[in-house]
Chains A and B, each alone.
Chain A
Amino acid sequence: MNLHAVRAIYKFEMARTFRTLLQSVVSPVLSTSLYFVVFGGAIGSRIAEIDGVTYGAFIVPGLIMLSLLTQSISNASFGIYFPKFIGTIYELLSAPVSSLEIVIGYVGAAATKSAMLGLITLATAAFFVPLHIEHPVWMLAFLFLTCITFSLFGFIIGIWARNFEQLQLIPLLIVTPLAFLGGSFYSIDMLPPLWRTISLANPVVYLVSGFRWSFFGTADVGIQISLAITLLFLVACLAIVTWIFRTGYRLKN
């Protein structure tokens, strides 16, 4: 394995995060804090406890998950799209690196960034609400699994996109609505039966539910199902990435 290349890609991508610290780290933390102030503090104080958890604390896993999804996709899609856009992709394609090494470098960096943000968001949340994490190992496992899976998804979007509009299309029109309707701010048990059933078709429900279980020990769906759906999405993304590199889709003529 060309570890020098993996390290080079990873370092190069991480360097961009630190070069654009304000945009990369401060901005998502600020917006998440605003969610806590508005939903956790102002509105949440008037909402009853859910499964014995105050509303402010209840939304913490959902907010972190929302941040992980959007940041993983955004970081990974931009990371691979930008060299395509400015033309420096030629160097990556002509380098002695395998598709696996490229994916580890780009997806690894994107996942690291979003995991960092998730943990910073968690630390920020601790300022607003008292937090107790019931299953910390599972919490970290879900966090990293989500970061890797959605960074892979973002990587696919970055390769697929032909312009900046397409780069934003899926995150804006599909991922964000799914994240908001995936139980980030509520339990799907609070929905009427029909909408609850429809919600079960939303993969984000399983991510949020599993992640929430690791915090409070209660979930909308079983932890095994959450884990299985997350792993299934990971495998699907891996299969698509493998196909992309095998065919050279939108990378090589």
Chain B
Amino acid sequence: MQPIVSISDVSKTYATGFEALKHVTLDIHKGEIFALLGPNGAGKTTLISIICGIVRASTGRVIADGHDIIGEYRQARFKIGLVPQELTTDAFETVWATVTHSRGLFGRSSNPAYIEKVLKDLSLWDKKDSKIMTLSGGMKRRVMIAKALSHEPTILFLDEPTAGVDVELRRDMWNLVRSLRESGVTIILTTHYIDEAEEMADRVGVINKGEIILVEEKKALMRKLGKKEITLELAKALDRIPDALAHHKLDLSADGHELTYSYDTQGERTGITTLLHDLAEAGIRFRDLNTKQSSLEEIFVNLVRERS
């Protein structure tokens, strides 16, 4: 697939000597939602800031929609919208004025009809004449998205878009991101809410200590790295795991009512058939059975821990 953003060997060392990025190479595909995961200080915001022109890379090259972000910065930035993590707004301006200003700043001629559509899509139309300082945090976040969309970008960076917002707004944001993708916008979001990436992303990149340690299709990642568990709810409580089942590496719950078996979905043999056979042989009956796949969060934590 043709990359819409191509990052080649980008490194960043700040004046303090802190190495925020180490030889990052990454391609973002056109039309996808890419989630960049990483703990605080991993380099997510630095990477986005370099692509958007806010921070200078020490080495490396970035191409956005076919344009070098340094040599052809006008064409590149024209395609990019950015919603930063911090709620930085012109408190004394009205919603309409600030969004219109953003459109002009990015070189677009005035288009009140388009601004109206953006504000309506973001449920901001009623607030268009309100000063930003009078809006709630969630509304301010929407204003920042409206500003980023005002010049009709094809690439949208969302840096921690739902940090500090309530559950309802988070759901709204997710729906908004999906609808933007449907309209053809490529979305790169950074988050440390794993469920956010799990809910929305097509692909996931994990960054830690300035290095990209993994890029994978979300589904493939979960399939590849995911552990699965079977929990058996027993008809009669057990005092201990019978010797005949010891080799299955089972966990017995404190009350003796549940047996849990973990297995690797990628393994040649999962051992489930043998386990069920051995349970029947041992005369252990169960009332219910359920399976659980490890979440992206667990995968992420394991990955970061392994590389630390």
Are A252 and B55 closer than 8 Å at their CB atoms?
A: yes
Are B105 and A93 closer than 8 Å at their CB atoms?
A: no
Are B88 and A86 closer than 8 Å at their CB atoms?
A: yes
Q: Tell me the minimal C-beta distance from B74 to chain A in angstroms.
A: 4
Which residues from chain A contact B53 at a C-beta distance below 8 Å? Answer: 93-94
- Give the secondary structure class of A's interface: helix
B109 within 8 A of A: yes
How far apart sit A95 and B108, CA to CA, in the bound complex (Å)? 11
How far apart sit A31 and B170, CA to CA, in the bound complex (Å)? 52
Which residues from chain B contact A12 at a C-beta distance below 8 Å? Answer: 97, 101
B174 within 8 A of A: no
Are B105 and A91 closer than 8 Å at their CB atoms?
A: yes
Task: Report if A91-B102 is in contact (Cβ < 8 Å); known contacts: A4-B107, A86-B90, A96-B73.
Answer: yes
A224 within 8 A of B: no
Which residues from chain A contact B97 at a C-beta distance below 8 Å? Answer: 12, 15
B296 within 8 A of A: no
Task: Report if A90-B92 is in contact (Cβ < 8 Å); known contacts: A2-B107, A4-B108, A5-B107.
Answer: no
Task: Report if A253-B15 is in contact (Cβ < 8 Å); known contacts: A87-B86, A95-B77.
Answer: yes
How far apart sit A92 and B77, CA to CA, in the bound complex (Å)? 11
A8 within 8 A of B: yes
B145 within 8 A of A: no
Are A95 and B106 closer than 8 Å at their CB atoms?
A: yes
How far apart sit A8 and B97, CA to CA, in the bound complex (Å)? 10
How far apart sit A90 and B102, CA to CA, in the bound complex (Å)? 11
B82 within 8 A of A: yes
- Would you give the 0/1 interface string for A4-36, flagging 1 where the beta carbon is closer than 8 Å to chain B? 110111011001100100000000000000000
How far apart sit A90 and B121, CA to CA, in the bound complex (Å)? 24
A192 within 8 A of B: no
B147 within 8 A of A: yes
Which residues from chain B contact A16 at a C-beta distance below 8 Å? Answer: 92
Are B56 and A252 closer than 8 Å at their CB atoms?
A: yes
Are B105 and A5 closer than 8 Å at their CB atoms?
A: yes
Within A97-113, which residues are at the interface with B (CB < 8 Å)? Answer: 97-98
- Would you give the 0/1 interface string for B76-105, flagging 1 where the beta carbon is closer than 8 Å to chain A? 111010101010111111000100011111
Within B2-45, which residues are at the interface with A (CB < 8 Å)? Answer: 14-15
Task: Report if A90-B105 is in contact (Cβ < 8 Å); known contacts: A19-B92, A95-B77.
Answer: no
Within A66-96, which residues are at the interface with B (CB < 8 Å)? Answer: 86-88, 90-96
Which residues from chain A contact B92 at a C-beta distance below 8 Å? Answer: 16, 19
Are A86 and B78 closer than 8 Å at their CB atoms?
A: no
Q: Tell me the minimal C-beta distance from B190 to chain A in angstroms.
A: 15
Are B104 and A7 closer than 8 Å at their CB atoms?
A: yes
Which residues from chain B contact A94 at a C-beta distance below 8 Å? Answer: 52-54, 77, 80, 82
Which residues from chain B contact A248 at a C-beta distance below 8 Å? Answer: 56
Which residues from chain A contact B76 at a C-beta distance below 8 Å? Answer: 96
Are A88 and B109 closer than 8 Å at their CB atoms?
A: no
Are A93 and B54 closer than 8 Å at their CB atoms?
A: yes
Are A253 and B105 closer than 8 Å at their CB atoms?
A: no
Q: Tell me the minimal C-beta distance from B71 to chain A in angstroms.
A: 13
Q: Tell me the minimal C-beta distance from B78 to chain A in angstroms.
A: 5
How far apart sit A92 and B88, CA to CA, in the bound complex (Å)? 13
Are B104 and A88 closer than 8 Å at their CB atoms?
A: no
Are A90 and B54 closer than 8 Å at their CB atoms?
A: yes
Are A88 and B90 closer than 8 Å at their CB atoms?
A: yes
Are B89 and A96 closer than 8 Å at their CB atoms?
A: no
How far apart sit A2 and B106, CA to CA, in the bound complex (Å)? 8
Are B88 and A5 closer than 8 Å at their CB atoms?
A: no
If A91-B82, A252-B56 are given as contacts, then 19 extra A-B residue pairs at C-beta distance below 8 Å, sorted by A number, are: A2-B107, A4-B106, A4-B107, A5-B104, A5-B106, A7-B104, A8-B104, A15-B97, A16-B92, A87-B88, A88-B88, A91-B147, A93-B52, A95-B77, A95-B106, A96-B76, A96-B78, A96-B106, A253-B15
Sorted from nearest, which 9 A-B pairs have the closest CB atoms?
Answer: A8-B104, A87-B88, A96-B74, A96-B77, A94-B52, A95-B105, A2-B107, A93-B54, A4-B104
16 contacts between A and B (CB under 8 A): A4-B109, A5-B104, A7-B104, A15-B97, A87-B84, A90-B84, A91-B105, A91-B147, A92-B105, A93-B54, A94-B53, A94-B80, A95-B77, A252-B55, A252-B56, A253-B55
B positions within 8 Å CB-CB of A: 14-15, 52-56, 73-78, 80, 82, 84, 86, 88-93, 97, 101-109, 147
